[in-house]
Chain A
Amino acid sequence: MTRSSAERTAIRSGLAVGIATAVYGISFGALSVASGLDIWQTCFLSLVMFTGGSQFALVGILATGGAAAGFTGIATAALLGLRNVIYGMRMAPIVGTGPWWRRAISAWGTIDESVAVAIAQPTRPLARLGFSVTAVTVFVGWNITTFVGALIGDAIGDPRAWGLDAAAAAAFLGLLWPRLKRLQASVVAVAAAVVATVLTPVLMPGLPVLVAAIVAVVVGAFNWLGRRDDS
């Protein structure tokens, strides 16, 4: 089968993004085990939940609050997963066609990376190709590296002595960094961080993060500091 150069470009960017993303499954696997989940629970998250931000958030909250923070952990993971609803709405006309099982697989593979590669393509067939290549590459790679990371995390013992708690903060920062291009997002980030820190001594673990989310709802609803063309 011969492929046009545009198709090869779509495949190449899907593979590049997919492989780069898959690598940080190692850090997720190790952090997840350090937070108290076992290897199988860790792998279950990467297989079924399959959305990195929510996975990191859930294990981060379980690390500070244990199973008692389960509800806030679930709520935070779900709130972070809300952006996948928007992605799905954008992707539905492109990859949401065909039989129900194909739409279900597309929905499962809807993550930051597959959507980013898809919307960067000039045509609808190329978008579909880029989406599929990225989703499959990330899925396979992310699950393999999660397992490897979980084995490593399991082997090294005390996570603090290895700086894994700082690694978790650095991982969240890496997920946040590309989203700080606009003033509105930066202000929301700083305000949310302050709210969460101030509330840490007064609320049970996990809740400060949820309360900080209100900052986003308020700023987003009134579009404070937003661009005029957004409103």
Chain B
Amino acid sequence: MTLWQIVILASIACLVLKFAGYLVPARLLEAPAPSRIADLLTVALLAALIAVQTFGAGQHVVVDARVPAVIVAAALYALRVPFIVVVAVAALVAAGIRLVT
């Protein structure tokens, strides 16, 4: 697939899902399992993405400047520092470590 095909297919898939919510009968919501699974699915995917983004290098697991950056980010989120500031600080930490090592 080309990058454009990937971008367009993924966008259509997500848009169709948004429309689907307005079309399915609301009584499905009364069964708690689907909405619980959807919530947990978001959590699991984000956590897995954090792990891969922090430790992954292609098919290898490595510990490098990203690890301290993510630890600093977690500490800042715990202190309720705004998203954009945390993301910028994480980038600075990783870039700083790479600059001196």
User: Which A residues lie at the B interface, using CB under 8 A?
Assistant: 20, 23-24, 26-27, 36-38, 41, 44-45, 48-51, 53-54, 56-58, 60-62, 64, 67, 70-71, 73-74, 76-93, 96, 103-104, 106-108, 110, 160-177, 179-180, 184-185, 188-197, 200-205, 208-209, 212-213, 215-217, 219-221, 223, 226, 230-231
Contact = CB atoms under 8 A, between A and B. Distances in A.
Interface in B27-48: 28-29, 32-48
Contact of B19 (A104, A163, A168): A104
Contacts of B24: 85, 88-89
A82 B39 CA distance: 9
Given A60-B52, A163-B98, 4 more contacts: A87-B21, A168-B53, A174-B77, A193-B47
A164 B87 CA distance: 9
B17 A78 contact: yes
B1 A77 contact: no
A166 B94 contact: yes
A192 B93 CA distance: 26
Interface residues of B, number: 76
A211 to B, nearest CB: 8
B11 A110 contact: no
B90 A169 contact: yes
Contact of A85 (B8, B38, B43, B90): B38
A88 B20 contact: yes
Given A41-B3, A41-B4, A188-B44, A163 B21 contact: no
Contacts of B69: 163, 166-167, 169-170
A205 B43 contact: no
Contact of B21 (A24, A110, A164, A194): A110
B87 A53 contact: no
A73 B49 CA distance: 11
Contacts of A51: 14, 18
The residue among B3, B49, B94 with the most chain A CB atoms within 10 A of its own CB is B49
Contact of B11 (A36, A48, A179, A220): A48
Given A67-B2, A169-B66, A177-B77, A82 B17 contact: yes
Interface string B50-87: 11111110111100011001100110010000111011
Nearest to A180: B43
B100 interface: no
B94 A185 contact: no
Given A71-B1, A174-B87, A179-B42, A166 B70 contact: yes
A196 B51 contact: yes
A230 B32 contact: yes
B55 to A, nearest CB: 5
A88 B21 contact: yes
A66 B10 CA distance: 15
A60 B49 contact: yes
B73 to A, nearest CB: 4
